[in-house]
Amino acid sequence: MTGEPNWPRAVVFDLDGTLIDSAPDITHALNTATGKRGLAPFSVDEVKAMVGGGVPTLVERALIARGLAHPDIMPVVQDFIVAYRENLTTHTKIYPGARELLEQLKAEGRKLGLCTNKHHAATLAILQKLDLAKYFNCVIGEREGQPRKPNPGLLLDVLTALDVSACCAVMVGDSEADVECAKAAGVRSVVVTFGYSRTAPELLGGDALISSLGELPQALGVMRSDT
Ligand SMILES: O=C(O)COP(=O)(O)O
Ligand SMILES: [Mg+2]
């Protein structure tokens, strides 16, 4: 229950735009894949407005933005994945306070999960490279043939792996996909204001809004007493 002193037992994080600022490397990979087709490059800000739904959605949005009506996305998705693999963390930065927050939540005995629309293999590699993998009890990224957020399946699989029910968990994310996924799973959500949301973060409908990761413990405390 929300009022319990150790609530939430689990905190599940989104990755891109929440724990890491990965847009520059995503932009590079996208421009490599679309540049092969002669398309004009995208800026990092343009990519921030298109990211959040997984690579196929990003590629589809990008191709439509360049005027392709019914684009064949799969070859471009494959090229993106190959290009991204070469530069997973070249310009990617952990957001301020992320490591300290993960340390604190772990020290408090909470279980930590990661639930991202980034493809699974790239997610694991990035967490290793940034020395973040050690904090998570369960990591699930996009798996081929499985629905992506906002479908609640990814998050429910994380909760099952953590052995925590929906009422004892909080999802922390930056986009509509995270909030909708959390709602569909019956999980309360916290929205960060510094990520890649296409909608103003305060309009996403999360249960709390934070403008830095260091604010999360206090936000969780307010949510706990707000049963
Ligand atoms: O890769 C994406 O499109 C978004 O990834 P995220 O779910 O970690 O924000
Ligand atoms: Mg995100």
CA of 116 to the centre of ligand 2 (A): 7
Active site residue 45: no
CATH class of 23-86: mainly alpha
Range scoring the smallest mean pLDDT among 29-33, 68-72, 113-117, 148-152? 68-72
Give the ligand with the smallest distance to the CA of 52: 1
Q: Output b/e per residue, 147-183; b: 16+ Cβ within 10 A.
A: ebbbebbbbbbbbeebebebebbbbbbbbbbbbbbbb
Q: Quick one: which atom of ligand 1 is closest to the CA of 17?
A: 9
pTM value is 0.96
Topology match between the domains 10-22+92-225 and 23-86: no
Residue 139: pLDDT band (50, 70, 90) is very high
CA of 5 to the centre of ligand 1 (A): 31
Report whether residue 118 contacts ligand 1, using a CB cutoff of 6 Å: yes
Whether 16 has a pLDDT exceeding 70, the answer reads yes
Contacts of 210 (CB under 8 A, 6+ apart): 190, 191, 192, 193, 216, 219
The domain segmentation of the chain, as residue ranges, is: 10-22+92-225, 23-86
- pLDDT tens by residue, 161-217: 999 999 999 999 999 999 999 999 999 999 999 999 989 999 999 999 999 999 999
Q: Quick one: which atom of ligand 1 is closest to the CA of 178?
A: 7
Give the ligand with the smallest distance to the CA of 50: 1
Report whether residue 116 contacts ligand 1, using a CB cutoff of 6 Å: yes
Superfamily of domain 10-22+92-225 in CATH is: HAD superfamily/HAD-like (3.40.50.1000)
Residue 123 has a pLDDT of: 98
